[in-house]
Structure 1
Amino acid sequence: MNKVFAILVFIGVPLSVIGSLLHWSSTLMFIIYCVAIIALASFMGRSTESLSIIAGPRIGGLLNATFGNAVELIIAIFALKEGLIGVVLASLTGSVLGNLLLVAGLSFFIGGIKFKRQSFNIHDARHNAGLLIFAVIVAFVIPEIFSMSMNEEKTMIFSIGISIILMALYLAALFFKLVTHRGVYNKGDEDGKKKVEEVPEWSKGKSILVLALATLAVAYISENLVHTFEEVGKTFGWSELFIGVIIVAIVGNAAEHASAIIMAAKNKMDIAVEIAVGSTLQVAMFVAPILVLISLLFPVAMPLVFTVPELITMVSAVFLMVVISNDGESNWFEGGTLLAAYFIIGIGFYLL
């Protein structure tokens, strides 16, 4: 599989450059860009897997989520530049839904087929559950309710205030997990088995270099990808909402998708869950707020106000994930439940 992705990178990236210079059809370029980004994401996943072996599951999961979300952040910034506020908000929604339902669902399902019962750190699961409820329900739903009684200017000021608070709390959460309480809630070796020493595929230096180069390539391709949305939407009959929630979210989060599933198949559920849930928290508490602040640099500012379908689906995904993961265990049926919820929501957004 790695060889296939390598071939796709060496073919897809040059074709992306040539096609953008020669102005090939938007539909063809959309396909080429998506394939190239997904192939590049596989390299990002492999490099972060190596780093997770070197640095540990928490830092590895954080790195994977950060570089995976860097793809989506880059796409969103170029979309903001083009004034596509609806696409950006929809892509944030899609990222939350994709990580909690699709990524976690596939991880639980595929891992559960291979292993009847998989476990992960229950303390991390409960800590993340509280943050998920705060980030999505408190920070996303409340602005929607208050904005009904505010004008655009006050709504924007409110969004800026919430964004600053969210970013501050996210940094505090990282400090809590990685500094003040690092190792306090580590899961003991329940079976008394010795840990198998793993050898990373790449060295620390090579992993960081691959991450940096892949991110740069994704940044270039993402800028061009944004310009194809309007034409592709007309060709396939996709709404702006569907493109943001499903297409941009899947392409933008391809790195997390691949890495989390690989980790689950290797029975490394701590990393798989950290990628899926950690990425969601990063989107809700850091990526979304920073996009609100960056939007102030462009002609059209983006308030942190989602549509009712977006809010209801995100809240539903959070509650479902919290209930399923709060016991610190997973199986294939729980994964299937998460996937079923994602497909139902996907059909709804397609028909909306």
Structure 2
Amino acid sequence: MTIEQSDHSTELTEHPDRFPNPGLPPHRPRLGDEDPKAAKRSERLVLLLFTVSVLASIAAIVGYFAIPVDPEAGSMGNTHLSTLIIGLGLGLGMLGIGTAAIHWAKSLMNDHDKVEERHEIAGDAQTRSTAIEMFNEGAKDTDIARRPLIKGALGGALALAPLPFLVPLIGNLGGDWDISRFKRTAWAPAANGDRVYLATDPTNRRIKASDVTIGSLFHVMPWNLPEHPDYLDEKAKAVVLLVRVDPQDLKETEERASWSYDGIVAYSKICTHVGCPVALYERETHHLLCPCHQSTFDVTDEAKVVFGPAGRALPQLPIDVDENGYLVAQRDFDEPVGPSFWERER
């Protein structure tokens, strides 16, 4: 735009219809374009990155078999180590392929600027033919035929990279598929009729109703659950959030009127969306929040969903007190905890 000043007045010229095409800047050759040794170093680096991917994928598979996780052991040691090795193998395997592909493209493939005039998008035969030609040109540009080592490393990396995902999945197909385990938790009364006490998690201290003040939140598990032979599996299903509100704020149906005690309510800590731990409590609104996808449940209204993707309320644990004032579970949850599964029954 040109501005012309005359006698303290300003006149604006009209905007041009088109601006001149500035063209492309001069091409700056890379070191590898002029120095064959530099190109060879880049080729060796790409080969090394693909090799790292192959070795990482193999390490993940070996780690899965060499460090088995024993669910009966009740220890997280092997679980942590196995998860660490598999995770590192997966991460390095994918990272090796990605960084090798990027370095290959930036240092060995054609880097000349190309211009394609803008046109209307159309799917006619000529366009498809042009796309195929461009694809073939790109494949030719990789010059993979003259680099058999890179071609072999790429094939090996791509072939092995999915295995750390698939091997654990296939290896677990022969596991325990007894889904009835999802329909009961450690809150169910013992065979001898002993009551199950509510205890703090993880200190395993029994809780009295007098310990729970209005607005407080307790993370709860069945008392003496750490002594259970399947401690980790059972705890994953039985964790509970215990909250006390003003009894007048509770909106209880007649069926659930006896499930709480003086404003104290207990709900499953496992979100009904995808099973994340619901662990955030907003005292003013009486809302429980799942940090994973922000599903929000109303403690005063039978933990019904008020926001987010969860499709069901949190299962409620019916509670009572014994003669000494300790909180106990009346019975198990009224429905399976956690997200939906294929044979879920309410």
Q: Which has the higher contact order (CA 8 A, sep 6+)?
A: 1
| Greater radius of gyration (CA) | 2
Q: TM-score, normalised by structure 2?
A: 0.24
Q: TM-score, normalised by structure 1?
A: 0.24
Question: Higher strand share goes to which structure?
Answer: 2
Question: Higher helix share goes to which structure?
Answer: 1
